[in-house]
Amino acid sequence: MVEQDRTVVRSLLVRATCVWGVVLGAALLIRYLFDTLMPPADYTMRAATLSYIIIGACTTSGFSTAWRTHSIVGGVVTSLGAAAVGSFISIVGSAVMLAIWHDLTTLDAWRSSGGLQEAFVDVPLKVMAIGAVLGLAGAVIGKGISTGLPRLENGVK
């Protein structure tokens, strides 16, 4: 691969990582915001919705990157990077929300939905693991589908 192609692939990876990372971070923050401001009696539907968004984003980020670059490693790196960006956004956003809303009722709502441990440690680590595994699955599928397609040249197929 020539240097110009590597630059194009790198910029594609960075853009995809940022876009999918913002999607993941926004999904996590919206869920935390709803749990904080409108705690439900049953968290099942919100948890399932968030799970499907995370699964879809991690798989799609790996798939689309591998499909465009013909690289399984690129797909996994993108998915894992997006999971890291999303986790970081989630942690910072949760801290900001906690700084804004920290009355006893809100803290009780946080405890009911999993607590601070879940928001700051458990979920970010799980998102990273999901990003690696599903990013790999998406990347393998994307690479397999793209086998007969032409490689990226100057950012265009």
Per-residue pLDDT of the chain (157 residues; tens, 9 = 90+): 556 667 877 888 899 999 999 999 999 999 988 888 887 888 889 889 999 999 999 999 999 999 988 899 999 999 999 999 999 999 999 999 889 888 888 788 777 777 788 889 999 999 999 999 999 999 999 999 988 766 655 444 4
Of the candidates 128, 24, 28, 142, the residue with the CA atom closest to the CA atom of residue 75: 142
Where exactly are the structural domains of the chain? 3-146
Which SS3 state, helix, strand or coil, does residue 153 take?
strand
Say how far residue 130 (Cα) sits from the centre of its chain. Answer: 9
C-alpha–C-alpha distance, residues 95 and 99, integer Å:
6
Query: Three-class SS string for 109-151?
Result: HHHHCCHHHHHHHHHHHHHHHHHHHHHHHHHHHHHHHHCCCCC
C-alpha–C-alpha distance, residues 139 and 155, integer Å:
19
Entry pTM: 0.84
Q: Are 137 and 80 in contact (CB under 8 A)?
A: no
C-alpha–C-alpha distance, residues 14 and 78, integer Å:
8
